Chain A
């Protein structure tokens, strides 16, 4: 991992500077400009890194910025937080010889360049085609809306919150994703002539019929996941948070958390748990423990994130399970736990864990953060009568991201159960194409 500035993390400023022009020219000149480039094939959103790297190499910087923006309406956001080591950089051909090309760095340079040198806006939707409603102004909704606007549809986004960006706006810490990156991408979306209605949750039962009655001819649901899981043992205590409410407070009002010199325990081993732990540490916590069932090797978080947590001094408790709460009234004061082993190898679920006698431990806990997964909000399954959802409440769709109700489409976390921004963008784009087919096909009859 490239070095990050921990001082900046503590100030909640972007932990990496955008790649300089000099470094970008050097890096782009390492690129082999492959035929049928594997990096571009590996991008779920079709951002086409092979093309924008080539454009940088041939000194066509604005062109590179255009490629990113036109292919991926969250191109700036992705340049900060895409898990490239699992996607484009993983596919890079030069890995057979040396380190992969720093694709995220180059994307960051180009996106910033386009922003600084005022790339001309894309053409506004002429709105000559059907009215379409999009629920949720997160990555999936923004991407679907952008594609439809480019096809001259009349698109309205309904967003529960007062701002755009979804999880990136409310959960992903500022040192990884500055709000300015989301603002930039949102500006590009607005330039396309998409109408956005903030503070407009669509959550009443059977809302879809209402939207149809208002003249929307197709609807896209991109409302993400808003019901984090919590553990029964923490019910009723005042000093515990689910990751969503904790990270949201870190984003909007971190002083009120008063974590100075506290001992914080984070439960979970994914990226979200690490973001919570690093944020707690950056807020001034004295000790932050990360307690998780997996071993370090089995951890689902990226290597880069684990490295970041290490650099910030997070105390890892691998292969461990919390068994009970030590409390004083309605406040948690500590936790007891035990190391575990898997009964069956490769099945990383609590029911498959067995505690190892003699490994009991206890931790001081002033604050407990639960980062153990999430699911769609309860309202989602009620949006339309007969819309099929799975056990965990995620919406079921076919290959074209159409739900079981014709004309009703869905994509992003609410469909895939929680993945990445770039995955949500890709699904939004695909759904937009399917919506166009649906509407034009229907009209042709």
Chain B
């Protein structure tokens, strides 16, 4: 009998029953919504970012969303022009206090954004008093109407360090600094947060992007009364970029802080990818905006089955395992070369591999127009496996190693 896997984690000294959290956004806008998310199974919630309305009154632009569709795959990405919470501090703090009372065993993280030192201190203190378990500092919203806030702060090492320090002084709660991906080297910003006393790093917030343009009016979308802006992009399309940042953070030995991974997570496999790259805690927004809180059921069940089937009892056994396999490209073993292998019995004769190899690789596919079958000319194949990736039959194209000491391989000569 296999032991059932345990999904609980320790993050900054706080126990989460599972690593799955709502990230700060409309999905965590109110206590009523958050309570439903807890009931659905989410282990923690990062509440929608609090601001101080007396310093800056938030008004949301309208409309504020545009979905990026890839052919028939709708919602491959989401662009938003949303600001931080437009509710009053008092209302938000009351919600946090109510939630903690109703769900003492679930984790509540208060996301805050100040515009001045006193703002940061005030929001930190009020969140702590209301019962929040952790603080997340929003250094990363890419479209705040208040000029020096959000990602502009997140691009400024000194501001990141200084604001983190203010918060650490104002409250005893562990602090997560939320990073913007709109920067070349995230590790440097994370190091600044660490210098200011941050206990953990979360990444990524949204990527500045333009998702669509109306070709008649020339107005990019979302069309906000005749104008638009490059604003935050999220969802499945940002996942590969997010994963890169997670591995950068994890592999930066000098940093050594726990990571909360965010960006395009929808399934337990996405979640597992982030864990394998070094995230301990996970956050989701766009997946929930698209499908609802219910997706956590499949994350929990799927990840539990994965672990149970492999006798993995605790998530700590796998965190970071994939980041450890990443090396500098200069360290690749190029004596190892492969060629493509097409399974004749599975080939359906569409010729997509032929077109791609012919125009995008090394003209190594031979297409028999009479039989309608593709085959590989091994003397020309460079082993890039473009053919494998375009083949509509998932298991038709494989590869095999060539002995480069014997065979003249097209990639080397």
Contact = CB atoms under 8 A, between A and B. Distances in A.
Contacts of A21: 394
Contacts of B2: 120
Contacts of B302: 58-60, 62-63
B239 to A, nearest CB: 14
B394 A63 contact: no
Nearest to B303: A60
B90 interface: no
B298 A55 contact: yes
B295 A58 contact: yes
A69 interface: no
Interface of B: 2, 73, 266-269, 291, 294-295, 297-299, 301-302, 305, 309, 393-394
Contact of A59 (B268, B294, B297): B268
A54 B301 contact: no
A305 to B, nearest CB: 30
Contacts, number: 38
Contacts of A63: 297-298, 301-302, 305
B305 A54 contact: no
Contacts of A253: none
Main SS of the interface on chain B?
Answer: helix
Contacts of B269: 59
Nearest to A66: B301
Interface string A43-67: 0000000000011001110110010
Interface string A397-437: 00000000000000000000000000000000000000000
Main SS of the interface on chain A?
Answer: helix
B394 A58 contact: no
Contact of A58 (B73, B267, B305): B267
A21 B394 CA distance: 10
Contact of A54 (B268, B294, B299, B393): B294
Contacts of B299: 58
Contacts of B301: 55, 60, 62-63, 66
Given A58-B295, A59-B267, 16 more contacts: A55-B301, A58-B267, A58-B268, A58-B298, A58-B299, A58-B302, A59-B268, A60-B267, A60-B298, A60-B302, A62-B302, A63-B298, A63-B305, A66-B301, A117-B309, A120-B2
Contacts of B294: 54
Contacts of A58: 266-268, 295, 298-299, 302
A3 to B, nearest CB: 15
A22 interface: yes
B394 A60 contact: no
Contacts of A54: 294, 298
A58 B393 CA distance: 21
A120 B2 CA distance: 10
Interface string A5-44: 0000000000000000110000001000100000000000
Nearest to A56: B298
A22 B73 CA distance: 16
28 contacts: A22-B393, A22-B394, A29-B73, A33-B291, A54-B294, A54-B298, A55-B298, A55-B301, A58-B266, A58-B267, A58-B268, A58-B295, A58-B298, A58-B299, A58-B302, A59-B269, A59-B298, A59-B302, A60-B267, A60-B298, A62-B302, A62-B305, A63-B297, A63-B298, A63-B302, A63-B305, A117-B309, A120-B2
